[in-house]
Amino acid sequence: MSEVKLFTPFTAGAIALSNRVVMAPLTRNRARPEDDAPHDLTVEYYEQRAGAGLIITEASQISPQGKGYAWTPGIYSDAQVAGWKKVTDAVHAKGGKIVIQLWHVGRISHPVLQPDGVDPVAPSAIAAASKTFDGTQFVDTPTPRALEASEIPGIVEDYRKAAENAKKAGFDGIEVHAANGYLIDQFLRDGSNKRDDTYGGPIENRARFLKEVMDAVVGVWGGDRVGVRLSPFSGANDSADSDPQATFSHAIRLLNGYRLAYLHLVEGQTGGSRDIPEGGDLSALYGLFDGAHMGNNGYDRATAIDAVASGRLDLVAFGRPFISNPDLVDRLQKDAPLNELDTDTLYGGGAHGYTDYPSLAESAEAAE
């Protein structure tokens, strides 16, 4: 029987992977509340999932301003770097590879989560019809403050520092979160970017912030250890654009110049329908990118095997299946049943629903 390509090694840029199954970035809201640092439970969680060809960590804010939800980790302080170093050491000891997703939420935040209770920032002062979690309840995201052009270089510098900190923490690379209606995506889309300066108007201007961020982080890592996540057709966090095919075609052509490790696309609605709107063409977007193609959204064993075998994708990212199945790659290889996901324990809390899902071996042992 021929080898299933999904489970064969692959090299994404300079990152050598043992298989093509990727753990997608998954917000779990379990960072240490006092300093947003990873802790021992975080180490155990990622160590359990080191069988993935590549782990992409949960989105991690590049600065206090970049935070949008309670108890999400950062990568801007010494305590956070130290916490992540324990994670990367544990994953590497198990033979895994791990990159950190760099995040600034922009308008998807709330003053209670911001330093000194100030308003969140965005390209333009346009509120998103969205909600965030403030530590006690879900609250509406308010109207943000439009960034002054003079402030933008400081945010770019925060990305650069976060990339440096990711190196100190022992990661194998970074992923720039430019998807799902967060700050970079807000700049890219004409529904959230109404600026009339060099960061607004035509797509060449709206993509300027993405380009400056990429210049900064690639300057730290080199392109072959950097990936980017985009969600061209997703309406997550009230994302809207008048011509997403044209917008993201331009963005991908821009990214091509950095010789990146991979391009990570959310196919359809984030965590929802895979349908593409009229005028949208995912295959054309993938076709514009010269590097490795990573797809995400609703894949199962059969569709993932087919996507890689056909050559449509090089890598497949799984989200929720990795939450309830720490040994997901082993289960997929053996075509074994998957643990049921407990949706009540996705966000916040402790070990329950986080590190207590059994592996196949543990389930078999318990059944004896």
For residue 304, the domain's CATH number is: 3.20.20.70
Q: How many CB atoms lie under 10 A from the CB of residue 340?
A: 9
Q: Please, is 261 exposed, middle or buried when counting C-beta atoms within 10 Å of its C-beta (0-12, 13-18, 19+)?
A: buried
Q: Which residues contact 363 (CB under 8 A, 6 or more apart)?
A: none
Name the residue type at position 219.
G
Domain count, the chain: 1
Q: What is the pLDDT at residue 364?
A: 78
Task: Say whether 182 is catalytic.
Answer: yes
Nearest to 73 by CA among 39, 106, 24: 39
Q: What is the pLDDT at residue 363?
A: 85
Q: How many CB atoms lie under 10 A from the CB of residue 39?
A: 16
Alpha carbon distance 354, 28 (integer Å) = 8
Alpha carbon distance 119, 101 (integer Å) = 24
Alpha carbon distance 211, 208 (integer Å) = 5
List the beta bridge partners of residue 264.
229, 294
Q: What is the pLDDT at residue 2?
A: 66
Which of 69, 76, 182, 258 is flagged as catalytic? Answer: 182
pLDDT per residue rounded down to tens, the chain (368 residues): 468 999 999 999 999 999 999 999 999 999 999 999 999 999 999 999 999 999 999 999 999 999 999 999 999 999 999 999 999 999 999 999 999 999 999 999 999 999 999 999 999 999 999 999 999 999 999 999 999 999 999 999 999 999 999 999 999 999 999 999 999 999 999 999 999 999 999 999 999 999 999 999 999 999 999 999 999 999 999 999 999 999 999 999 999 999 999 999 999 999 999 999 999 999 999 999 999 999 999 999 999 999 999 999 999 999 999 999 999 999 999 999 999 999 999 999 999 999 999 999 888 777 76
* Contact by Cβ (8 Å): 267, 229: no
Longest dimension (CA), the chain: 68
Helix (H, G, I), strand (E, B) or coil at 333: helix
Nearest to 325 by CA among 309, 342, 310: 342
Domain extent at residue 38:
5-367
Q: How many CB atoms lie under 10 A from the CB of residue 302?
A: 9
- Report CA-CA distances (Å) from 187 to 63, 67, 191, 281: 18, 17, 9, 22
Tokens 């916040």 correspond to: 348
Tokens 């960072």 correspond to: 31
Residue 145 has phi, psi (to 5 degrees) of -95, 130
DSSP strands (E only) in the chain: 10-12, 15-17, 21-23, 54-56, 60-61, 98-103, 121-122, 131-133, 138-140, 145-146, 173-177, 226-230, 262-266, 292-296, 315-318
Q: 313: which 2 tokens?
A: 């994708």
Rounded (5°) CA angle 176-182-185: 75
pTM for the predicted model, two decimal places? 0.98
* Contact by Cβ (8 Å): 75, 165: yes
* Contact by Cβ (8 Å): 78, 161: no
Long-range Cβ contact pairs of 138-141 (< 8 A, separation 24 or more): 139/110, 139/112, 141/107, 141/108, 141/109, 141/110
Q: What is the pLDDT at residue 1?
A: 43
Alpha carbon distance 15, 221 (integer Å) = 12
DSSP strands (E only) in 57-137: 60-61, 98-103, 121-122, 131-133
